[in-house]
Structure 1
Amino acid sequence: MKRRIVMSMFAGATLLASSLLGAAPARSADAPAEFGTDWHDPVTAAPPVAKPSGKSCQVTLAEAQFRDFTPYKGTYTPPEGCGERWSKVVLRMDGKVKGRQFDRLGHLHVGGVEIFRTSTPEPSPDGIEWSVEKDVTRYSDTFRRGQDVEMLIGNVVDDTYTGVIDVKVTLTFYAPSATAARPSATAASPVTNAARPATSTTRSTPTPDPTPDRVLTPDRVLTLQDGTVTTPRNSERIVAEVYATGSGGGCEEFWYLSAPDPAPYSCKAGDGPYREVQIEVDGRLAGIAAPFPHVWTGGWSNPFLWYVTPGPRAFDVKPIEYDLTPFAGLLNDGRPHRVEVSVVGVPEGQSGWSAPVNVLVWQDAKSAHVTGRLTGHKVGELANSSTYTPGSEHRVDTEGRHRLTVGGYVDTSHGRVTTTVSRSLTNTSAHRWTDGENLDALDAAWKDDQSVTVDGRGPARTTRTQRTYTMDGSITIGAGDRLRTVLTLGDRAAVGTTRAGRRIAWSWLDDTVEGDASWTLNVPRDQRHAVGTTSERFRLHGSKGCYDRSLTSVQGVLTEDRRAC
């Protein structure tokens, strides 16, 4: 049997994100011999979003049952009684589903701005409930006006797939404290793609922010209009964010396993599995990034790995972020400029990627027009090599790398500020499989290193972010159609900020999920005799504190919930 048939557990469209909530279970719970018809509600080890004390106001953003591919459409009205400036805005999605259903993707847009994206868990016959929270303060500009709301979790409900996905989404607005002050945009460190959990409200130990200097709320949040954006003429900092996901049930859902054309594999891509998300401004390369290798909750042919604990970012799809400040001098002419996103490695004409773009802008309140110039633009050679070696075990070895450095300045009301952005990507992978794909194994790593230096209004400040994503696993189909998946996933980021060469802040994040699960193919659900153990450890250390939590589930029972620090 072709493993590819089982692996595509997804028939989805495109949504949401952030920290998943769940009540702490009793320790050392007894696990059954195999999965039954009920299991623990989904939970992750990531810390919850910290919430300020004081006055707050709540607005219901969307409430819907998704049973087909019809989007929910509604309207948003700003909250009354909390003003128009907030110390924090927290989005919460509460979901429930029962019966049988695939994992699904979806989106949530407010005024055309994508603010939230996630995948859904697969339910037990008896039903599950879960909640996801996300800090969406950066979209405050969008929330200050009435807006149209659109939400979609594409879903199929029929006699076999009975799970109706029932969700409610709210926004909670926290009024600022009397002492809150808003520093200038140039004082902020560059936006990074690292996860950003905040202090847990249930612990006294402070949780470090993986971006040592918290990014300030932008003045404007823009979307593309016919592929173009027109920024305010006094923009002094510009960041694009792209919610890039390979999805939709085709091979791009598992892009990291695709093989070059000569290889006898069920998922083909002309040049192999190397993928790179690029953004261009007026046809000029402005940013590069490694996409995160998401594993959704039906992934690697084994939903029994993910029923309780999903893979990293499966319920927290974070945008890739590109600092476009070096292009501000070009963009600030009051005219529309073309912004395009493409994914390197996808065969021409093949779909399977979603990449909506938001543009975040910080303005110089004391200038009507901020001028500037692009001073440096160096594009390294893109190396992308996949070598196929035939044999009793087929093998594809891939090596890819790319580098981009861009620099520019803006003349602001507080002086000239120069920004230099350097980013380098590397990818190595070894993919092995046998005829019929009864063995299918991958060992892969992606590195995405970025350095952003801001020079002006004081000593030069540099933030370096080193991201590493890893995937090491195998699927085997043995005697009696017994399928086993063993998999380890890693999401790591090290961030450090220096001023005048002296380190002023740092953080280190490691989110690792390990699993081993087996089940019997081609039999009714109650005869699968599925077993599985999944564990997650989420560690976040830095100059602002420490967070360390471990979870383990066995046959759907949460047997460990341990906190260190």
Structure 2
Amino acid sequence: MLPEGSFRRVLAAAGFSLFLAGVAQAAPGNSSPVGTANVTVADPTVPRPAGQPCVVQLFSNDSFDNYSPQPFSYTPPTGCGTHWAKVVLEGDFSVTAGVQYDRTATIFLAGVNLYFGTTQEPSSTLSPSWHVERDLTDYSALLSNAGQGQVFIGNTVNSTYTGVLHGSARLLFYPASARAPAANAPDAVYPLGSDPIGSTVALNDSSSQLAATLNLPRNVERAYLDVFTQSQSNDEFWYTCVPPQYAAETGECNNGNFREAEVSIDGQPAGVAPVYPWIYTGGIDLFIWKPTPGVQTLNFIPYRVDLTPFAGVLSNGSPHTVAVSVEGADSYFSATAALLVYEDHHAQQVSGQVTRNTLANQPPTPTISSTLSQNAAGDVTGGVTTSLSRHFIIEGYADTSHGRVTTTVDQTVAFTNTESFNITASIYDQITDQLTTVQGVSQSKLGQAVVGEFTASFRYPLYVESDQSTLSDGNYSIFTKVRQGYRQHTEEGLGGLTLYAAHVDNHIDGSDTLVVTPSYSIVSHSGQQATQTFAFGDSLGGCYSGSVSSANNVVTAYSSGQGCPGRQNRVLWFTHPDGSPYQGDGPLSW
């Protein structure tokens, strides 16, 4: 009989697991990547203003063959002023040919995360390399001061796992000018966690917290939290699990499939950060991700939570504890977060209160339903559905130098996951169909006048099909299909008028068939194909489109700009075509 839930164990037994970040560049210069087996993606790089940047090298050609963080010292650049139009992190990584897991990679400075993601797996004949970028303009306050940092890519190298990782990273500072003015960046950046240089925190269960007790300025007028929550270990394939009461029947992991990051201030619910189902380059079927990894696999994008309704409370001079937990975590989620604070420069003291918080009485408890049935032969068919939808409003006021500003965060966060099964003595078929959505608006009023409105919607669709059967020779055939997406629509408005709108759509569709032995050693694979498409557009006429397709693990088609006017990508330097957060740093301010 085919072992139940085996597609997940194929990965572990074959040695394919998880793990680096930024926006990977599709092809160097104007060259075509068609025919290459090296990493190729459709994602845009970070746009820049014109002019020569100042460059600060963080580390250069470091080797990663153990579990020791690599420290570096940071000093702000000279010759580019102290206020910058844009700050960009660039990283270049590679792994030597051989056998190696995918590995998690992070870069921290003074406790704050600059980069989070995973690495590409090598093959016996290919040493893959990739380029990554992250827009760090909102972290300018952190980068204005010298500090200590470290890069960490924990990696085992021995006679079996031979791949050695290498990496370099630098920061590019673009000086402010009349054509590219200094960014409206936060005044301060505070890390969550206790490591003064920086590391992620393992959240092993729902009660585990990433937290910091902070002494904040007394003039906070806006606050945002950038959150990363990355699934690891037992939780790597959390989206395929079922509630405990159905685990024996289905043979699946028994810790459920609802995961959601909960944000709190002084123990009071303050916001929600949906968990993105990242799939690493060894995940499910490693060949699907050669040469194009899954959505954001090489570039985790943080989710930004608006904490501005708490601005008056945060300014009261008392220490405040900001915390993140992951509901449903089961050993474990790796988490990091940074609090971004804007100050009222014309007031020494801001005061205020939270006046409404309907999230506080809505615990994250999903509804479970089942259509599973089992016949006399033990065959199992049907599905298990997990769902939760919460609409909440958090409202608070802050008495600022501008007057009383009332901010309302109104959001609906919804989650649905259906695990469908067809299990007999010779087949084990499972489909994961999951969708997480967010619909929300943050509105600020000065008296009765609306002075800012930010609307955002997100969709995280995931479809994973695994059809497993026993072959005549006793081996197993496993066909896998994956569809994964990230969709984001944002708008900034004022008085009912839309001042700026942008849309991001990033998705990948791939499949492959593995043949494995009963001990889950890979015999062969066939039929690999994948296509990633990326599209960005905004109300300023910005447009980016990219597409990459592969078959048999080499790039077969690549295009850039085909979906834009004149078949050419055009984006303005201050926009975020990669989907990175920009709420708080736009043209609207008090």
**Residues 287-345 of structure 1 deviation map (CA, whole Å, 9 limit, x = unaligned):** 01321111111112x11111211111111111121111111111112221111211112
- Correspondence 1:406 to 2:390: no
Q: In 2, distance between residues paired with 1:414 and 1:266?
A: 60
Inter-CA distance 303–61: structure 2 relative to 1 (3 Å threshold): same
Q: In 2, distance between residues paired with 1:151 and 1:541?
A: 34
Residue among 246, 255, 274 paired with 2:231:
246
Whichever residue aligns with residue 491 of structure 2, its letter is G
Which residue in 1 is equivalent to 2:83? 85
Residue among 245, 261, 285 paired with 1:277:
261
Q: Could you tell me how far 1:74 is from its partner in structure 2?
A: 1.9
Residue among 371, 376, 382 paired with 2:351:
371
- Correspondence 1:468 to 2:459: yes
Residue among 189, 213, 218 paired with 1:228:
213
Deviates more, 1:439-448 or 1:394-403: 394-403
Deviates more, 1:447-456 or 1:474-483: 474-483
Which residue in 1 is equivalent to 2:581? none
SS in 2 for 1:356: strand
Which residue in 2 is equivalent to 1:111? 110
Structure 1 residue runs without a partner (length 5+): 31-38, 184-215
Structure 2 residue runs without a partner (length 5+): 195-211, 375-379, 565-590
Q: Could you tell me how far 1:4 is from its partner in structure 2?
A: 2.5
Inter-CA distance 18–230: structure 2 relative to 1 (3 Å threshold): farther
Which residue in 1 is equivalent to 2:576? none
Q: In 2, distance between residues paired with 1:475 and 1:25?
A: 38
Which residue in 2 is equivalent to 1:326? 309
Q: Could you tell me how far 1:268 is from its partner in structure 2?
A: 3.4
TM-score normalised per structure 2: 0.82
Residue among 73, 79, 82 paired with 1:75:
73
Q: Could you tell me how far 1:471 is from its partner in structure 2?
A: 1.0
Q: Could you tell me how far 1:541 is from its partner in structure 2?
A: 2.1
- Correspondence 1:540 to 2:544: no
Q: In 2, distance between residues paired with 1:144 and 1:498?
A: 31
Inter-CA distance 387–230: structure 2 relative to 1 (3 Å threshold): same
Which residue in 2 is equivalent to 1:34? none
- Correspondence 1:308 to 2:291: yes
TM-score normalised per structure 1: 0.86
Q: Could you tell me how far 1:469 is from its partner in structure 2?
A: 0.8
**Residues 123-169 of structure 1 deviation map (CA, whole Å, 9 limit, x = unaligned):** 13231111111111111111111111111111111212111111111
Which residue in 1 is equivalent to 2:7? 3
Q: Could you tell me how far 1:415 is from its partner in structure 2?
A: 2.2
How do 1:142-153 residues align onto structure 2 when only pairs under 5 Å count? 142-153=142-153
- Correspondence 1:237 to 2:222: yes
Inter-CA distance 516–180: structure 2 relative to 1 (3 Å threshold): closer
Q: In 2, distance between residues paired with 1:490 and 1:508?
A: 13
Q: In 1, distance between residues paired with 2:424 and 2:237?
A: 19
How do 1:354-393 residues align onto structure 2 when only pairs under 5 Å count? 354-379=334-359, 381=362, 382-388=364-370, 389-391=372-374, 392-393=380-381
Residue among 479, 485, 493 paired with 1:484:
479
Which residue in 2 is equivalent to 1:446? 436
How do 1:168-187 residues align onto structure 2 when only pairs under 5 Å count? 168-178=168-178, 180-181=180-181
Q: In 2, distance between residues paired with 1:12 and 1:146?
A: 36
Q: Percent identity?
A: 30
Q: Is the 8 A contact 2:41 2:548 kept in 1?
A: yes
Residue among 185, 198, 208 paired with 1:217:
185
Whichever residue aligns with residue 532 of structure 2, its letter is E
- Correspondence 1:551 to 2:548: yes
Paired residue total: 518
SS in 2 for 1:312: coil
Q: Could you tell me how far 1:376 is from its partner in structure 2?
A: 1.4
SS in 1 for 2:245: coil
RMSD of Structure 2 on Structure 1 (CA): 2.5
Q: Could you tell me how far 1:485 is from its partner in structure 2?
A: 0.9
Deviates more, 1:393-402 or 1:232-241: 393-402
- Correspondence 1:513 to 2:508: yes
